[in-house]
Amino acid sequence: MTQAAPIALTSPAPTAARGWLAQAGVIALLVGVGLLILPPLLYLAASAVQAGSLGAVSIGSLGGLVFTTLSLATLATTWAMMLALPLAWLVVRTDLPFRNLCRWLAVVPLAIPSYIGAMAYIALLGPVGSVNAWFTTLTGSQQQWINIYGFWGGVFVLGLFTYPYIFLLASAALEATNPSVEETARSLGESPLGVLRRVTLPMLRPSVLAGGLLVFLYALSDFGSLSLLRVHVFTTAIYHQLNTRFDQASSAMLSFVLVLITLAVLVGQRILLSRRSYVTITGTARMARPLRLGRWRWPAAALTGGILGLSVFIPLGVLLAQTGSGGQFLEVLREQGRFIQNSLVMAGMAATLAMILGFLIAFTAKHAQRRTGAVLTGTIQVGYAIPGTVLGLSLILLYNTYLPWLYGTVGILVLAYLIRFLTQPVQGVESALAAINPHLEEAARSLAASPGAVLRQILAPLVRPTLFAVWTLVFISAMKELDATLLLRPAGFDTLSVRVYIHTVEAEYAKAGTLALLLIAFTVLPWSVVTHLQEKKIV
Amino acid sequence: MRSDITIVFRTAAAALLIASAAGSMAPFPAEAASDRLVIYSGRKEKAIKPVVEAFTKQTGIQVDLKIGKTSGLANEIRMEKVRPRGDLFISTEGGIMEVLAKDGLLDPYQSAATKAVPDEFKSVTGAWTGISGRARILLYNKNLVPEKEAPKSILELTDPKWKGKLAIAGTRERTSLAWAASLVAMKGEAFTRDYISKLQANGLKILTDNTEVWQGVGRGEFAIGLTNSPNYYLAKQNNLPVGVAYPDQEVGGLGTPINPNAVAVIKGATNLATARKFIDFLLSREGQRILVTQDYEMPLLADVEAGEVLPAKAIKRPAVTAQRLAELEEPTLALLTSLNPNW
């Protein structure tokens, strides 16, 4: 990564006043982010120190937990990359059949909360699920053919419903990187595979790592699907301490260990990213002539269909089979309209705020001194690692005590979503900014363009696809969020995800299925609008 | 001259504007809520909401309901101690109420209505009162277990013929913990330890919650599940091939525990008088009738019609007080987790 000027906002002729203002802006941002994220972290640390023990978790079983959790997250991330990268490359760079449709569909799994995905797959691949039943009918053998429960089921399901994180960032980056680099390589006699390996993939590295990190951190903090699939990891252990023993101290201790692991992962990612720099020389993201797949066209389509089948059609099909008649569907829609509105307003607010803040933070981090930037973005990423339940409880304690007017309103929900998901826009915009050659900015400035003009006319258009992508990411995450929402929502204020949870717990599966489909539909909606606008070149 | 700073500030200002606009649009239940009764309920919405609606109809008092897991809401009440936000707490088990009462989080209330509830289903100090009950049962899959082979005692479950076919919810379902604690109360710690180890050696599967238990049994993943009586009716309602055995009912037998669903006023409740009124309503004839029929629960009051389900008086149960049970929960949990951390 090229070292930029120490502080942002140094322009060719900095006046003292402006330098001071710039400093003040950076400091204000740092303080704001600090006030948002540090209190729950400090609270965790304080409780952990106070506890001094792990409650029922012995040091030996802690080692086991760390091992299981890390291997699960690593394998789920690998699996997600295996799904996301071929898809991203196929839909952006080749003449894959129905590529626009596939591109749209590839993001849909993100709208399916992983606990709902897990439930669908348990119904299908559980010990007494449909597949085993078919197998028994076909062969007459009572032997169990497949069992989704356990570690590998967790890897399978998590990867399946998180790969769009990588897909979104990788395809946006593919779009933003100049295809002429690849064309040049091809014209110089490099084989298509060689171009992929030596040119395309290296250029994608920052966004693949950013997306992979999101998947990894998601896997570390997921509770719902893993507890359903009977995998014992950190989050389930924390939940257990908290909900059967009411042992907040040792759950804080475990959460703190999880936060430390996250920090280690983040440092690792920084090191990986800082080894080389990847920049686009020119800013024009000209559309490439799609690569002709030729006789590989249909095999590629089959691969795409397989991935989308596993991650979109099968779970949606299972949910659809659960729901009742069309009349019932309308009834649910009428009855639950209020909750749909609640979800949309909350998620929209969180996404907009997160996008703006994320852009400011990424921009500041890029131009600030390297260490300041790393601390800033690192702090935000840690927020993602606090399990939702633990975050919810700590926010209750902190805000009910010190800012009681905020707690008990929906504002606390937006705040929780920001803490949990702010890392998504920061990561996304950061990787998009990293792909922009600083010479581009320098050149513009040397031509006497004002810094504002640089931001508006050069940086903003280049990161715009990413801005839309990160808004969608946060919106989707906030729509799905359950653990913290359950605790923090004001009484009487339910969201769609809460309703799905309540009806599932109460074993009203037709209602739960209908609401889950509605949740997915409303989560996909903004994504559809964005893709539509992008196709029409409006954004 | 335009600069980065102005851009940064403008965007920040825009963000603030959006935030405040959205904030003013959004409802502020807390401020408007002063005269609205706030109920935290670990009991299902399906069971509680009809009672709440009847209460509102009768009294004109508006209610905000927050449905969640009993243990999650209990944690929330602990966190909200300095400035309680809820008025009432409805839980799925008595032991958790004792935990909260010990921390001074509940406000005792006794009235003619609560006095009618048998002592075994309420706190001696009046901190909480049982509102309905659920018996501990053996749920079996009729396709895997013929009716006459269904076990009549929990002690039969250590028989190798059930190896790998048994399921129970872990202690995150408080009723599982209460069940084990009552075994400790009746037979002592050494016996319970030995019995649970034998169950585990017989392949007892510890699941996340009771829903998994009745569904697993209903679908045939397990032959027998240790769970609560309403789940039998729930499974039947879902057309699953299940049968029920109320275990250890013979003369001199252990009996099977009944866990009360309980209600308590949260200490520092804003609407103390309405909260108390609601408790009396829950225990009134009308309140009980709605509560009991909604989710296959047993009435605890002698004069309330049980309907489809077995009434509490028809079931032989261990003679253990709620207080004793609550005292035993912590050591029982330690015992269970020492045998298997997944409990």
Task: Dump pLDDT digits (tens) for B212-249.
Answer: 899 889 988 899 999 999 899 989 988 899 999 999 99
Count of alpha carbons within 13 Å of A33, Cβ hemisphere only?
30
pLDDT of residue A287: 56
A126 contacts in chain B (CB < 8 Å): 219, 221
pLDDT of residue B4: 45
* Closest residue to B3, CB basis, from A128, A452, A492: A452
pLDDT of residue A534: 67
3-state secondary structure of B166: strand
Domain count for chain B, please give it.
2
Section B61-75 average pLDDT: 90
Q: Which two tokens stand for residue A433?
A: 């900014």
In a domain, B251, yes or no: yes
What lies within 8 Å, CB to CB, of A484 at 6+ separation is: A388, A389, A391, A392, A395, A413, A416, A417, A420
Of residues A140 and B138, the one with the higher pLDDT is B138
d(CA B199, CA A274): 55
Same domain, B129 and B271: yes
Residue A82 CB: number of other CB atoms within 10 A?
14
Same domain, B146 and B220: yes
In a domain, A11, yes or no: no
Report which listed range, A384-388, A450-454, B191-195, B299-303, is most confident: B191-195
Same domain, B127 and B60: yes
Same domain, B234 and B334: yes
Q: Which residue has the tokens 């409303």?
A: A522
d(CA A258, CA B98): 32
Same domain, B267 and B250: no
CB contact under 8 A, B208 and A242: no
**Which helix (H) or strand (E) covers residue A158, if one does?**
helix A151-176
Section B181-196 average pLDDT: 94
Pair A286, A413: CB distance under 8 Å = no
Of residues B71 and A140, the one with the higher pLDDT is B71
B11 contacts in chain A (CB < 8 Å): 356, 359-360
Q: At what angle do helices A509-535 and A337-367 cross, to 10 degrees?
A: 50
In a domain, B2, yes or no: no
State which residues form the domain around B81: 29-133+260-310
CB contact under 8 A, A409 and B221: no
B28: nearest CA in chain A? Answer: A409
**B165 pLDDT above the threshold of 90:** yes
Q: Which residue has the tokens 């950190």?
A: A234
Section B80-103 average pLDDT: 90
Suggest the residue from A239, A243, A483 to mutate for an interface test with chain B (most B CBs closer than 10 A).
A243
Q: Which residue has the tokens 């585990």?
A: B200
A306 CB burial (10 A radius; 0-12, 13-18, 19+): exposed
**B118 pLDDT above the threshold of 70:** yes
What is the pLDDT tens value at each position of chain A, 539 positions in all? 333 334 344 444 444 555 676 777 778 888 888 888 888 888 888 887 776 665 555 666 788 889 999 999 999 999 999 999 999 989 988 888 888 889 889 989 988 988 899 988 988 888 777 888 888 788 877 667 788 889 999 999 999 999 998 998 888 788 777 677 777 877 887 777 787 777 777 878 888 888 898 899 889 888 888 988 888 888 888 887 777 777 777 778 888 888 888 888 878 877 876 665 555 545 455 555 677 788 888 899 999 999 999 999 999 999 888 887 777 777 777 888 888 889 999 999 999 999 989 888 888 887 777 777 777 777 888 888 788 888 888 898 888 888 888 887 889 999 999 999 998 888 888 878 877 777 777 787 777 777 677 777 777 777 887 888 788 889 988 999 988 998 899 888 899 999 988 888 777 778 888 889 888 988 888 777 777 776 665 54
Same domain, B267 and B121: yes
Strands of chain B, DSSP E: 37-41, 63-67, 88-91, 106-107, 129-141, 166-169, 205-207, 224-228, 242-245, 258-266
d(CA A216, CA A220): 6
B269 contacts in chain A (CB < 8 Å): none
Closest listed residue to residue A82, CA positions, set A266, A293, A307? A307
CB contact under 8 A, A244 and B170: yes
Same domain, B161 and B225: yes
Pair B95, B174: CB distance under 8 Å = yes
d(CA A439, CA A467): 22
pLDDT of residue A11: 41
In a domain, A82, yes or no: yes
Residue B134 zone, left/alpha/beta (φ > 0; ψ -120 to 50; rest):
beta
Same domain, B104 and B251: no
CB contact under 8 A, B33 and A491: yes
Q: Dihedrals φ, ψ of B180, to 5°?
A: -65, -40
* Closest residue to A492, CB basis, from B64, B234, B337: B64
In a domain, B20, yes or no: no
Closest listed residue to residue B74, CA positions, set A111, A245, A342? A245
Q: How far is residue A470 CA from its own chain's centroid?
A: 9
Pair A82, A155: CB distance under 8 Å = no
3-state secondary structure of B26: coil
pLDDT of residue A53: 61
Section B178-202 average pLDDT: 94
Residue A447 to chain B, least CA–CA distance (Å): 15
B334: nearest CA in chain A? Answer: A56
pLDDT band of residue B5 (cuts 50, 70, 90) is very low
In a domain, B247, yes or no: yes
Closest listed residue to residue A451, CA positions, set A15, A136, A9, A107? A9
Pair A162, A72: CB distance under 8 Å = no
Domain count for chain A, please give it.
1
In a domain, B37, yes or no: yes
A248 contacts in chain B (CB < 8 Å): 75, 78
In a domain, A46, yes or no: yes
Of residues B336 and A24, the one with the higher pLDDT is B336
Q: How many helices and strands in chain A, by DSSP H and E?
A: 27, 0
Alpha-helical (H) ranges within B116-228 are 174-187, 189-201, 210-219
d(CA A215, CA A207): 12
In a domain, B164, yes or no: yes
In a domain, A10, yes or no: no
CATH code of the domain in which A252 resides: 1.10.3720.10
d(CA A486, CA A395): 13
Q: What ipTM, to 2 d.p.?
A: 0.77
Residue B252 to chain A, least CA–CA distance (Å): 32
Same domain, B71 and B121: yes
Pair A179, A287: CB distance under 8 Å = yes
User: DSSP secondary structure string, A102-154?
Assistant: HHHHTTHHHHS-HHHHHHHHHHHHSTTSHHHHHHHHHH---S------SHHHH
A228 contacts in chain B (CB < 8 Å): 208
pLDDT tens digits along B274-294: 999 999 999 998 899 888 887
A3 CB burial (10 A radius; 0-12, 13-18, 19+): exposed
Pair A366, A4: CB distance under 8 Å = yes
d(CA A479, CA A527): 13
CATH code of the domain in which B299 resides: 3.40.190.10
**B82 pLDDT above the threshold of 60:** yes
Pair B229, B314: CB distance under 8 Å = no
Same domain, B129 and B139: no
A497 contacts in chain B (CB < 8 Å): none
Same domain, B219 and B126: no
Share of chain A above pLDDT 70, in %: 88
pLDDT of residue A435: 72
B251 CB burial (10 A radius; 0-12, 13-18, 19+): exposed
What's at B186, amino acid-wise? M
Closest listed residue to residue B287, CA positions, set B111, B113, B118? B113
Q: Which residue has the tokens 């106070």?
A: A50
Same domain, B78 and B184: no
Which pTM does this prediction carry? 0.81
pLDDT of residue B97: 92
Closest listed residue to residue A106, CA positions, set A115, A116, A98? A98
pLDDT band of residue B93 (cuts 50, 70, 90) is confident
Report which listed range, B183-192, B248-257, B316-325, is most confident: B183-192
d(CA A434, CA A442): 15
For residues B279-306, b (16+ Cβ closer than 10 Å) or e, as one string?
A: bebbbbeebbbbbbbbbbbbbbbeebeb
CB contact under 8 A, A393 and B2: no
Q: Which two tokens stand for residue A51?
A: 């506890």
State which residues form the domain around A286: 17-54+61-535
